[in-house]
């Protein structure tokens, strides 16, 4: 840890239940069945809302929770959001803490986890923050029916994975992420992506 001091609770200790779920997520059948351990991080108001009616992000959490979320990002292999979140909030999806970025580098990882966007129609802007800020891999999952010119434009900025015909097939995407070394996937999407993942639907 030369020169880097990490103060608890910046990095959490994995609970026994989390460890069991993570191990089991990749233990069934052959390679085609394997998928990352997926968890959804979401802040919710007392009346059950996660955004305004205009679908704009609003501050619900406090400073301590922001630190907790940053630590979760640092511990993850990839961060997943939907294109709706990219268009509404333009997140960078980077690890904010200098100490946590250094910790990742010391583990032989990029400063930031792989950033993954589910974008069936290839609507992601070329200047989206997650494409231009911070080091690390970027992957955009699109459907076969996405406009070819948009797909080619995005290929200049990130890896583009065609995964599904009209919509991104989330199950196929999970398998592809596993093949790319993603074992722990943090989801920071909106209600639509969260619900689709819960139900195992295409998106």
- CATH code for position 174: 3.40.430.10
In a domain, 101, yes or no: yes
β partners of residue 140: 117, 160
Counting the structural domains of the chain, the total is: 1
* Dist. CA 85–CA 73, nearest whole Å: 17
In a domain, 83, yes or no: yes
Give the predicted TM-score (pTM) of the model: 0.78
In a domain, 148, yes or no: yes
Q: Which residues constitute the domain of residue 76?
A: 16-199
Angstrom distances, CA of residue 18 to CA of 13, 144, 170, 184, 199: 10, 35, 22, 11, 20
* Dist. CA 111–CA 12, nearest whole Å: 18
Look at residue 172 in the predicted model and tell me its pLDDT. 94
* Dist. CA 141–CA 193, nearest whole Å: 13
In a domain, 51, yes or no: yes
Q: What is the pLDDT along the chain (203 residues), one digit of tens a residue?
A: 334 434 433 455 556 665 655 555 554 445 556 899 999 887 555 454 445 455 555 555 678 888 999 999 999 999 999 999 999 999 999 999 999 999 999 999 999 999 999 999 999 999 999 999 999 999 999 999 999 999 999 999 999 999 999 999 999 999 999 999 999 999 998 878 877 887 765 55
């Amino acid at each position: 840890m030369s020169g880097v001091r990490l103060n608890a609770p910046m990095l959490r200790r994995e609970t026994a239940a989390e460890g069991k779920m993570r191990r089991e997520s990749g233990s069934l059948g052959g390679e085609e069945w394997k998928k990352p351990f997926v968890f959804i991080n979401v802040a919710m108001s007392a009346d059950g809302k996660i955004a305004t009616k205009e679908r704009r992000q609003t501050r619900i959490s406090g400073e301590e929770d922001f630190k907790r979320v940053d630590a979760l990002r640092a511990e993850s292999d990839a961060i997943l959001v939907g294109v709706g979140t990219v268009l509404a909030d333009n997140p960078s999806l980077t690890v904010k803490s200098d100490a946590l970025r250094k910790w990742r580098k010391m583990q032989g990882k990029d400063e930031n986890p792989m950033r993954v966007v589910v974008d069936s129609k290839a609507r992601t802007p070329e200047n989206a923050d997650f494409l231009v800020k911070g080091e690390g891999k970027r992957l955009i999952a699109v459907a076969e029916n996405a406009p070819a010119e948009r797909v080619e434009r995005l290929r200049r900025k990130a890896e583009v994975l065609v995964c599904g015909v009209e919509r991104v097939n989330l199950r196929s995407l999970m398998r592809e992420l596993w093949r790319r070394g993603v074992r722990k996937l943090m989801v920071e999407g909106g209600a639509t992506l969260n619900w689709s993942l819960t139900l195992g639907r295409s998106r």
